[in-house]
Amino acid sequence: MANTLLSIGHSQHPVDIFIDLLKSHGVNYILDVRSTPYLQFAADYNRESIRLVLQGNGIEYAFMGNYFGARPTDSSLYSPNGYLDFEKVANSPKFKKGFDNVEKGVKQGYRIAFMCTEKDPIECHRAILVTNAFYKAGYSIEHIMQDNTIQTQEDIKE
């Protein structure tokens, strides 16, 4: 379905299992929404490493943490007590620019998945902030779970 977007948490899977999960859902473009795409305990998922592995498997990669990350540098996006205000982020010019870029990719026929670290989307900003904004705009959202099942955005909302 053309207006379907996916999400996945790498969950520190062995990279070959992660690639199999993506391929089984026809993903051909990963958008990395981590603010900091480097992990000491999961070096296979550091920005340069995962980009090379994905491209070697016919999957494009783009870092989008500057648009969709959960740790923006703009202090106006935080509440007075220091919490990130997802509503403000979703309405920020940067987020909207990222949103427009994703829509261009969809129109070009890419099967896009947003990638972050957490295995459970309900514990991650990729579902609470990023895919939720696309869901509100009419996209169908499918979260690829660790066991290769799908949870929809509707499932998460419940």
The CATH number that applies at residue 140 is 3.40.50
Provide the domain count of the chain: 1
Q: Name the helix (H) or strand (E) containing 89.
A: helix 86-90
> What global pTM score does this model have?
0.94
| CB distance 144 to 25 below 8 Å | yes
Q: Is residue 139 part of a domain?
A: yes
12: left (phi over 0), alpha (psi -120 to 50) or beta: left
Predicted confidence at residue 2, as pLDDT, reads 56
Q: Concatenated DSSP letters for 24-46?
A: HTT--EEEE--SS---TT-GGGS
Q: Are 64 and 98 in contact (CB under 8 A)?
A: yes
β-strand pairing of 150-152 with 140-144 = antiparallel
pLDDT recorded at residue 4: 97
Helix H or strand E encompassing 21: helix 15-24
Q: Residue 157 falls within a domain, yes or no?
A: no
- What was the pLDDT predicted at 27? 98
- The three-state secondary structure class of 74 is coil
pLDDT at 13: 86
* Structural domain that includes position 54: 4-151
Is residue 158 in a domain? no
Contact 19, 49 (CB under 8 A): no
pLDDT of residue 1: 46
Closest alpha carbon to 11 in 110, 28, 34: 34
Spans of the chain below 50 pLDDT: 1
pLDDT at 42: 83
